[in-house]
Amino acid sequence: MHEDRLEPLLRDTFRHAAFRPGQEDVCRAVARGEDVLLVMPTGAGKSLCYQLPGLARGGTTLVVSPLLALIEDQVQKLQALGIAAERIHSGRDRLESRAVCRRYLDGELSFLFIAPERLAVPGFPEMLAKRPLALVAVDEAHCISQWGHDFRPEYRMLGARLPALRPAPVLALTATATPEVQDDIAAQLGIPHSSRHIRGFRRHNLAIEVVSTLPARRAEAIARLLAPAERRPAIVYATSRKQAEQLATFLADRGVSAAAYHAGMRKDLRERTQTSFASGELDVVVATVAFGMGIDKADVRTVAHAALPATIEGYYQEIGRAGRDGAAARAVMFYSYGDVRTHEFLLGKSYPEPAVLADVMRALERGPLHRDDLQAASKVEDEETFERALDQLWVHKGIELGDGGLVLPTQSPWAKSYGAIRASRFAQLGAMMKYAESPGCRMLGFLQHFGDRSDGGAACGVCDACDDGRCVARSFRDPSADETALAARIAAELEAGARSAGQIAKLLEPIPRATVTHVLEAMARSGAVSARPASFDKGSERITYTLYSLPGGVYDAAPLRMQLEGSALGAPKKRGRDKRARQAAEMPDVPSHLYGELRAWRKKTAEGRRMPAFRVLTDRALVAIAMSSPRTIYALQECEGVGARTAEKYGDEILEIVSAAS
């Protein structure tokens, strides 16, 4: 009976002439009362898959979503259609939320949107259970899985709360979920027998480019990318709030209508930016990747990333905001190997070493302690690290949090699950870097990662790997004589067998790894070398990388096409005493005076601290600093081999040397 109402509602209420591909089967299954897991790309029409059957079933549909901006957007659109929809989340005051609860209990709402943390408010789940629901929709369902790219602990309670809201069917929706995450979503929500609808991940209208670019050059590159009006509206993803504001200002100064958008802004400023972008008054929004924009804007022509994303899942979801209208759109990512170090530092803060968590648990062996006393007893001096350790122990059920800041140990094992999750986070980062460095079709890379077996497997024909002539941000040129010579040296090293870029770079020191990878990519694009994924286990961590080899064991000096942003090398010299310094000095891209000053400073610093020189900074890091001449701590941290801790410890001294040598 409910199914019979779908098409009239689709036509008369939602004003659509027909279903989009993949929608009808899902809507019919949900209308029949089945539990469903839906994996559908961003912009393909997931929202209709709960809105339409929810109305068809009658009563109230409960929608759980972690993105407040998206909640506001969906409620506004439903209300504009004359549908009774409301929301409860942290952005609304208590009086407003109470009024919504009364309307819900009186049966006046067709849709109630809530943030997941509301389920932790005493009495709120019980209030929801007072009325039978038509449907429970769990949006961004990958957030419930610890194996997903955006796990949120507050989603943990969903599985425990859902039984009280039955017999309403459950619809779990997400744009990005690997087969492993799909299984975990179904298990966590208690819907193991749900029907699964996995729509293809291929986007026919999206051309993807991945550009290896030093951090100092990215702002100008993004400005050039977005200068033509036909490449706007656009979304630019930045790595931090500060970078978002700086990039927005940089673009505005060059005549592009741009504004920043991040969680640190006042609510009214965020809303003003969102409204201006949606209406077309604003051309470009520069947003942090950590804050979901929730803007359903169909005509976004370009999505740019100012740095390497942390996961393939997150990257796919973000670029999915381009070209929802079906017209040609483009996604451009600017990255360098140094981005990996930044992510590793951030991951290390979010997921401390297991030994840190073990120290906290040992301090609890004699019984519960207050947070402050526990930090002192555990000897974890850094407060942020201590708080992260507590968070992870709570997530993995090693502790319970009592009243008044009391921390209670449990008997549940935590170490194995934490170690596995921590390793998976670093593996996701490795997979993202491997994707960036891959010479193959970008769209096929997505299909392989997500395990989409329904796709035919044809190359997209429009990405930078399929047709470099269509690129707008990544320019190519013929190789220099030095790069051709380097390609021959790389081939010679591969005659002994397959090697990774890191292994080859070590054999060819002091040539920077980025340069070796740059030439390797060109060789792979031309077919001169083959590239295949590989991995190994390091403790509990799975390390992924790319192995390069010679097809048939023979080097065919096929014509190479080099990315224009790459640097030509100086002619290789014979090895001898202090060979690294002399070779670096003779490479035209490395300022010899600055490189020498940095080496002298490193030697003096190492002697003063009674440690080997490489423990201060590696030769590769010195070359990277000399080549990019950073003027800020942020820019220094982006140099290959320079992490946040190194920048904090030595940053002022290094920047002073760079400034004096300029």
pLDDT of residue 96: 92
Rounded mean pLDDT of 86-92?
86
Query: Which residue in 431, 442, 548, 569 sits closest to 498, CA to CA?
Result: 548
- Note whether 586 and 498 are within 8 A (CB): no
Q: Is the model's pLDDT at 160 over the cut of 50?
A: yes
Query: Which residue in 190, 174, 181, 227 sits closest to 64, CA to CA?
Result: 174
How far apart CA 304 and CA 327 sit, in angstroms, is 17
Rounded mean pLDDT of 23-28?
93
How far apart CA 339 and CA 331 sit, in angstroms, is 18
Q: How confident is the model at residue 469 (pLDDT cuts 50, 70, 90)?
A: confident
What's the residue count for the chain? Answer: 662
Q: Which residue has the higher pLDDT, 536 or 233?
A: 233
- Note whether 508 and 516 are within 8 A (CB): yes
Query: Which residue in 119, 127, 193 sits closest to 156, CA to CA?
Result: 119
Residue 341 amino acid letter: R
For 45-88, the pLDDT digits (tens) are 889 999 999 999 999 999 999 888 788 889 999 999 999 999 99
Superfamily of domain 579-661: HRDC domain (1.10.150.80)
Same topology, domains 206-335 and 475-563? Answer is: no
For 482-522, the pLDDT digits (tens) are 888 899 999 999 998 899 888 999 999 888 887 888 888 88
Residue 330 Cα distances to 41, 78, 417, 432, 471, angstroms = 16, 30, 39, 19, 10
Superfamily of domain 206-335: P-loop containing nucleotide triphosphate hydrolases (3.40.50.300)
pLDDT of residue 425: 87
DSSP per-residue string spanning 430-485: HHHHHHHH--S-HHHHHHHHHT--SS-----SSSTTT-GGG-SS--EEPPPHHHHH
Rounded mean pLDDT of 168-197?
89
How far apart CA 103 and CA 100 sit, in angstroms, is 5
- Would you identify the CATH topology of the domain 344-421? Arc Repressor Mutant, subunit A (1.10.10)
Residue 291 amino acid letter: F
Point out the least confidently predicted range of 148-152, 317-321, 381-385, 393-397.
148-152
Q: Which residue has the higher pLDDT, 119 or 137?
A: 137
How far apart CA 231 and CA 108 sit, in angstroms, is 44
Provide CB contacts within 8 A for 512, sequence distance 6+. 505, 620, 623, 624, 627, 640
How far apart CA 122 and CA 118 sit, in angstroms, is 9
Give me the helix-helix angle, 312-319 and 415-437, nearest 10°: 50
Give the CB-side neighbour count of residue 86, counting CA atoms within 13 A.
Answer: 18
Among the four given CATH numbers 3.40.50.1980, 3.40.50.300, 3.40.190.10, 2.70.150.10, the one describing domain 2-198: 3.40.50.300
pTM of the model: 0.66
Task: Give the burial string for 444-462 (b: 16+ CB within 10 Å, else e).
Answer: bbbbbbbebeeeeeeebeb
C-alpha torsion angle, residues 184, 186, 190, 194 (rounded to 10)? -160
Q: Is the alpha carbon torsion for 639, 640, 645, 650 positive or negative?
A: negative
pLDDT of residue 6: 94
For 254-310, the pLDDT digits (tens) are 999 999 998 778 878 888 998 899 899 999 999 987 555 556 688 999 999 999 999
pLDDT of residue 611: 64
Start-to-end Cα distance in the chain: 77
* Tokens standing for residue 107: 């049966």
| pLDDT averaged over every residue in the chain | 85
Point out the least confidently predicted range of 333-337, 481-485, 542-546.
542-546
pLDDT of residue 590: 58
Q: How confident is the model at residue 538 (pLDDT cuts 50, 70, 90)?
A: low
For 580-621, the pLDDT digits (tens) are 433 333 343 456 788 888 988 988 887 777 666 667 887 778
Q: Which residue has the higher pLDDT, 15 or 474?
A: 15
Q: How confident is the model at residue 35 (pLDDT cuts 50, 70, 90)?
A: very high
How far apart CA 572 and CA 575 sit, in angstroms, is 9
Q: How confident is the model at residue 91 (pLDDT cuts 50, 70, 90)?
A: confident
CA 361 to chain CA centroid, nearest Å: 31
Is CATH 1.10.10.10 the right assignment for the domain spanning 475-563?
yes
Q: Is the model's pLDDT at 458 over the cut of 50?
A: yes
Domain map (residue ranges) of the chain: 2-198, 206-335, 344-421, 475-563, 579-661
Point out the least confidently predicted range of 163-172, 184-193, 632-641.
632-641
pLDDT of residue 614: 65
Rounded mean pLDDT of 315-321?
90
Q: What percent of the chain has pLDDT over 90?
A: 41
